A = this chain, B = another copy of it.
Amino acid sequence: MQYRRLGRAGLRVSTLSLGSWVTYHNQVDVKSAAEMMAAAFDAGVNFFDNAEAYAGGHSEEIMGAALKQLGWPRLNYVVSSKYFWGLDRQGDAVNRKDTLNRKYLMQAVDGSLRRFGLEHIDLIYCHRPDPHTPVEETVRAMNDLIVQGKALYWGTSEWSAADIRAAWDVADRHGWHKPVVEQPQYHLFHRRRVEQEYARLYDDIGLGLTTWSPLASGLLTGKYRGGVPEGSRGAMETMAFLRDGLTDTAKNAAVAQLDPIAAELGGTLAQLALAWVASNPRVSSVITGASKVSQLQDNLGALALLEKLTPEVKARIDAITAPLAA
């Protein structure tokens, strides 16, 4: 396994990491989670991503139970969580959803700690930007959570470059803990934010990246080339919002063209897509998902491909996918 620093911060995370979006609770129980995490850990994965909103809090509970069962030394792994949507999204609970105000953040992190059964979370994220709370209020709350020892580092997810810089500036001006990482969507068909919008932030403020959806919700595995297969994520009721993107004709055609390249390098389409994300040196960790150990092992195979992604190979991949990328 490779390890990279989280941008300019001293924390090191494995180049491939394990996220729990969707998979936990709905499809995975504690036993399976522990098995998958153990397999990942044995392969050198040290970063496990989570969020308050995943499976309404159950994803944190399951990961917490699995961690307890696994009994690893606390220094050996990094756990993250994210805050914005709240545990549930109903009714008039105006201070517990879609907000980054002080009340929500302080109480939401306490809730996470309880669900995880941990004394601190290594990395906490603002899961989305909140235009209705002053950035100073949000930054100060994140800082105070670190000062209180409930978290060690903080970052953002899907924030604009301007918002990230505003947060960093207000923290820097007051001597508060600054955001060290952003978690954007990043894959062969979604590149503009990471490659253009954030371009100046890497050197200016030392921003690190953990990225989500490396396989474009499965599109880059090639399994949607023939429509939505039964039992796939795209077929799930709650994932209807993804379906159009997954069956896009042009993109599936491009995926088909990547197939021989993956084969040539001795890997699968998924491995090629993962390796491509990891080949961006600004990316600290590629968050991968898996619902069974075999799938996880497949993903880890991407590391072998990473070394084979020469500039020439990347140029061929670019020629096929860049015109379709957002």
Contact = CB atoms under 8 A, between A and B. Distances in A.
Interface of A: 1, 3, 5, 8-12, 44, 46, 73-76, 78, 86, 92-96, 99-104, 106-108, 120, 122, 130, 132-134, 137-138, 140, 144, 147-149, 152-153, 174-177, 206
A146 to B, nearest CB: 8
B174 A102 contact: no
Nearest to A93: B76
Contacts of A11: 95, 101-103
Contacts of A134: 8-10, 206
Given A8-B134, A10-B102, A75-B104, 7 more contacts: A10-B99, A10-B132, A10-B137, A11-B103, A73-B96, A75-B107, A148-B149
A210 B10 CA distance: 27
A116 to B, nearest CB: 16
Contacts of A86: 75
A152 to B, nearest CB: 5
A93 B12 CA distance: 10
A252 B154 CA distance: 55
A95 B75 contact: yes
Contacts of A3: 92, 94
- Interface-central residue, A93, A103, A132, A140, by most chain B CB under 10 Å: A103
B10 A138 contact: yes
- Interface-central residue, A134, A138, A177, by most chain B CB under 10 Å: A134
A75 B103 contact: yes
Majority secondary structure, A binding face: loop
Contact of A106 (B1, B76, B149): B149
Contacts of A99: 10, 12
A101 B139 CA distance: 21
Contact of A9 (B101, B130, B144, B152): B101
A132 B75 contact: no
Contacts of A96: 73, 75-76
A46 B12 CA distance: 39
A154 B40 CA distance: 37
B95 A12 contact: yes
Given A44-B92, A152-B102, A74 B107 contact: yes
A152 B103 contact: yes
A274 to B, nearest CB: 19
A122 B103 contact: yes
A95 B74 contact: no
Contact of A10 (B130, B144, B148): B130
A102 B10 CA distance: 7
A227 B95 CA distance: 44
